[in-house]
Structure 1
Amino acid sequence: MAFNLETYIPRLKACRDYFAKLYSVSDLIDALLFSDLAISRQKLPDSLPELALSDSMMVDIQDFLSKQITAGMSELEIQQKVRPAEELDQLLGDYRQYLIERYGMFAYIAKPWINDLYTYLDGRPALEIMAGNGFLTAGLRQLQIDYPITATDNFDWKLMDRQMTPITKVVKMDASAAVEYYLKDVEVIVLSWSPQHANSDWLILNFLRVHHFFNRGGELIVIGEKNGVTNSKKFWQQAQLSVPVLLNQNWPRFDLVKDQVFTVK
């Protein structure tokens, strides 16, 4: 079944009801539902487990289904018993797509990680570019209401048929323009999930090098999947990458996307 934003959570809840007594599975579904509930209330969610049916879960499901299917059932009746398991597997894989389309959350910003980021920044004034609906900046502001960070985004990514309001103040500004405008006032720039098919990330990195941002102690933090679904090929080829332990120890990686947190020069 193709992804459908409006039916996603009802379908997930239906799977939860079907597997209610299969606790290894229902607990996994609950993690998704609690995550969605927190984000819907403009709160940062907890980290997620891997959103996949493990081998042990599959054994549990097969045992569960064997008790649901009895002799004499028609092919249609059997399919109706099996379908929730097949549907759940797809729903788990679609959660990131749901977050993007429902909330404009591309990188999954969770509470444990934002605490690490807050510690890492150590009060340094920061600029977030391509901030989306502002979840990262909002998380820092929840920890310290007056944290010196400015969030910017041009909102070109927004789906035309859905109205999504940022959860904190996000200045409408192109990333390159924001870097040029705020550069003298910040020590850290944060860029998460830059588009894969645009060179804006490379242009920004080159601008920072030309203007000696790194020479004066500035830092660029990038969240993305190296040579994967984020950032341009040229960026990954030219960037000098480091992987800070503090910023990755609680970074949530729950699906096939293997994004990380890098510092870049």
Structure 2
Amino acid sequence: MNNYQLKINKLAKIIQEPIINNQVKEINKIIETINQHDVLDRRPVDLGLAPNELDEIQRKNFQSKRVAIEQINNLLNNFRSFLSRYYGIWSLPNLETVHLLKSEFDLKKGLEIMAGNAYWSKALTQANVKMIASDSFTWAQGSKTGQNNFYPTQKLDAISSIEKYDDVDFIMCAWAPNFGDSDCQVLDTYRKCCDLKQTKLFFVGEKNGATNTAQFWQKAHQIKSKKLLKVNQSFKSFDFIDEKIFEIK
């Protein structure tokens, strides 16, 4: 077990609360799945304690346990941060979501840009979608997770990838940075190269929040549909970040 797991499992044994035990069990399952280079069947359960849940648990327990309760709640709330540091994963796809995405939008071949460790490409491949993953890997120079790809990934920046691979059904970008202008460049290049080909563009992240820049959300034309609503119902965020899949024009 890694240090994060050791801490939450130790604290859970001290506290002995069913709601905490269930969440720790879920985290252990997620980590085991990732370690096997596999993908979750369904979205994770909600992680972290709501304020009323935290208050209730603290009232039920002795003073000696209150520090442990606060510590484990902090760890539960920061599970996504752990995944990013330890695995280079910011977003957790699941098989139910990628199968729905494939069937609702009739996807056959896709390009993942800014793929990082290409966990979304791994998931989509398991839904029998042919994927090409690419990343500039500039971030990987200072990251221990930079060589731990879940799917073969070409060293190619997002703009060059869009220009090179013009025969795909869709382009996907998960968790674009909320600084710089790379997301706006992607949007401009997509509109220049792909708009008339009816290539779909999906971004995974949080609108006006953890992902993408304010300029991007001002420029992006969001396409809302019953199909995407159905997909996102299987992809509800497991933490306080309001993560969704967006179709952009």
Residue 41 of structure 1: aligned partner: 36
Match of 1:169 among 139, 152, 173: 152
Q: CA deviation at 1:47?
A: 1.5
List alignment gaps of at least 5 residues for structure 2.
Answer: none
Using structure 2 for the length normalisation, give the TM-score. Answer: 0.89
Q: Distance in 2 between matches of 1:60 and 1:93?
A: 16
Q: Name the % identity.
A: 24
Query: How far off is 1:252 after superposition?
Result: 3.2
Q: Which residue among 214, 228, 231 is the counterpart of 2:195?
A: 214
Matches of 2:143 and 2:235, distance apart in 1: 31
The alpha carbon displacement at 1:92 in A equals: 1.0
- 1:178-200 alpha-carbon deviations (Å, 9 max, x no partner): 111112x1121111111111211
What secondary structure does 2:140 align onto? Answer: coil
Aligned 8 A contact 2:102 2:108 in 1? no
Q: Distance in 1 between matches of 2:84 and 2:141?
A: 10
CA radius of gyration, larger in? 1
Asked if 1:236 is matched to 2:232, the reply is no
| Aligned-partner SS, 2:196 | coil
Query: Offset at 1:120?
Result: 3.1
Matches of 2:192 and 2:150 in 1, distance apart? Answer: 34
Q: TM-score, normalised by structure 1?
A: 0.84
AA in 1 matched with 2:26: A
SS of residue matched to 1:158:
helix
For the aligned residues, what is the CA RMSD? 2.0
SS in 1 for 2:112: strand
SS, match of residue 215 in structure 1: helix
- Alignment CA distance shift 1:156-1:235 (3 Å): same
The reply to whether residue 223 of structure 1 matches residue 200 of structure 2 is no
> Hey, what does 1:152 align to over in structure 2?
134
Matched residue type, 1:254: F
Q: Give 1:132 shift.
A: 1.3
How many angstroms does 1:57 deviate by? Answer: 5.6
Q: 1:141, 1:194 → 2: CA distance?
A: 21
Deviations 1:206-236 (A, max 9, x none): 122223x222221111112111121122111
Give 1:128 deviation, angstroms: 0.7
Q: Distance in 2 between matches of 1:253 and 1:200?
A: 25
**Where does structure 1 lack aligned partners over 5 or more consecutive residues?**
1-5, 70-77
Give the partner amino acid of 1:239: A
